[in-house]
Structure 1
Amino acid sequence: MAELPVVERSDAEPKPGDAFVQSLARGLAVVRAFDAEHQEMTLSEVAARTALTRATARRFLHTLVELGYVRTDGRTFSLTPLVLQLGYAYLSGQRLPELAQPILEELSHRHGESTSLAILDGTDIVYLARIHTRRIISVGISPGTRFPAHATSMGRVLLAALTPAELAAYFARAELAPLTPRTLTSREAIEAEVGRVREAGYAVVDQELEVGLRSLAVPVLGADGRTVAAINMALPARIDGDGRNAGRDAEVARLVPELQAAAASIAEAARAVGAA
């Protein structure tokens, strides 16, 4: 069996102290160990993913089973829909997805392509809203879905808004794994691309998250002018006979202004209700 990656406890790991409850941190690490690539795991796999002993992982898993957050067939474990309640309180308290939804829907229907809203959380982006049209990515995306920031257009827009110190901290934590043969995986290449995004005001990612997928993204700015989120449009990537990205320049010229207008409308709506 291939060695499983270890799930870090958190992006800014707290130092144990009087206010730090280690058992809670470990229990949350067990929940976070499950993802799209690890929907079902054995006890040994959970222990490996969380860097816990088998005995400790067993206690947390069976506690989660008793509480209804995890199910088991006696050999493997998987999450139940009850875990959605853990994130619902956060998502339901966010005004930005509610404000962005009709604007993203209008943009999506006008062009016949999927649109999304996301924020940066640690080294990942987290989707807050998603308007589906045709299915051009194999993994289902919905609010709460996470992807590595380095391989996504919205992630690059959000990374471009970080200060040099924040960006350095990101690279210290991020696992720059290749998701396709085209994914940028070196810090130097990603930093250079983030710099271009910062200068241009938009990001284009071609087949780095998934083969056949191209994505354009722009920032959503808060009242103070800082980036609070990003929106994108997902498109099928077309490659010509010479291996070049066919139609990319035309798509950028046509769609980036539309995305920027939508982002400005979202920002204006958020400012009007004091949400950004």
Structure 2
Amino acid sequence: MAQTPNWDPPNTNTPTAKTTVTSFRVIEALLQHKTSGVSELAAEVDLAKGTVHKHLNTLRQLGYVVKDGTTYRLSLSFLRIGTTIRAAIPLYSISQAPLESLAEATSEVASIVVPENDWGIYLSRVQTDEERVLSIQEGERIPLHATAGGKAILAYMSEAERDRILEERGLPAITDKTITDAEKLKKELQYIYDKRSATDRGEHRIDRHCIATPIVDTDGRAMGAVTLSGPAERMAQKVEEYDIPSIVSSTANNIQTQFSRSVNSAQQ
């Protein structure tokens, strides 16, 4: 199973607070390992145990880390932050019912991916009885160039913005199917733009296939994408038997129409 690397942010001249960066390195390590002791965390983030212990104590006092015996874990305070942020995004509430219908109709995982800080973020995921445990959770970030949802978003960006993202993030190989050639990706993005449909056949996870359609705003820019994903063999079979791209596209159109109506109503 391919894992998305925890790439560092692009190298810019923007000033940063090293203490804050260190705290979030500790947070990310705890997120990955669920629970961990000071020694394990220190080795993971390559810092002195005393430094890691100080950051853990600070996060604990602020209510963001819980100590269980000799190990630490993240607290549910992060849940409050995440759910509050997501609830403030209109696309989330509008997309829930259509996503549930898509997942029920296809028996595959239906999702909304949105762009943020040059990544794709899973805003929402609806699982099915056939896939009770999601390998990628809501809130996780994915590389735009290696996923159907990400490519759908890239295809509807301005050329200048797209070129900047690809130059800063690069085209790292996540699997041996990932497109790492800029010209090849550019041609595929044009095809996606023309067809308004994107695919990912093992580019992010070798055992998964995904189909996506962008959700565009009034300026024609993608504010997100509807994706449908499942095991490679099962998805390939369903694509042959049913018009899956059209089903995904219909869901995206439904969400896009509802979003436009909500915006128009708010402006009246």
TM-score band by shorter chain is: 0.7 to 0.9
Paired positions, count: 258
For structure 2, the 5+ residue unaligned runs are: none
Aligned to 2:42: 44
Give the structure-1-normalised TM-score: 0.77
**1:177 CA displacement:** 4.0
Taking the aligned partners of 1:197 and 1:53, their CA distance within structure 2 comes to 48
1:113 deviation in Å? 1.9
Separation in structure 2 between the aligned mates of residue 238 and residue 85 of structure 1, nearest angstrom:
38
1:232 CA drift (Å): 0.9
Structure 2 residue aligned with 1:162, among 157, 160, 166?
157
Pick aligned residue for 1:202 from 187, 197, 201: 197
Aligned to 2:256: 267
Unaligned 5+ segments in structure 1 are: 240-244
**Percent identity at matched positions?**
25
Larger RCO, structures 1/2 (Cα 8 Å, 6+ apart): 2
Asked if residue 250 in structure 1 is aligned to residue 240 in structure 2, the reply is: yes
TM-score, normalised via structure 2 length: 0.79
- Aligned pairs (5 A) from 1:181-200: 181-200=176-195
Q: Which secondary structure does the structure 2 equivalent of 1:120 belong to?
A: strand
2 CA distance for matches of 1:15 and 1:55? 28
Match of 1:214 among 209, 212, 230: 209
How many angstroms apart in 1 are the aligned matches of 2:178 and 2:132?
A: 15
- Whole-angstrom distance in 2 between the partners of 1:75 and 1:188: 52
CA distance in 1 between counterparts of 2:199 and 2:44 reads 36
For the structure 1 residues 96 and 201, does the alpha-carbon distance in structure 2 shift closer, same or farther, using more than 3 Å as the test?
A: same
Matches within 5 A, 1:1-276: 8=8, 10=9, 15-16=14-15, 23-36=19-32, 38-39=33-34, 42-48=40-46, 56-71=51-66, 77-135=72-130, 139-174=134-169, 176-238=171-233, 247=237, 250=240, 254-274=243-263
Instruction: Please give the secondary structure, in 1, of the residue aligned with 2:152.
Output: helix
The code of the aligned residue for 1:43 comes to L
Give the drift of 1:76.
5.9
How far is 1:130 from its partner? 1.3
- C-alpha displacement of 1:6: 6.9
Greater helix fraction, Structure 1 or Structure 2: 2
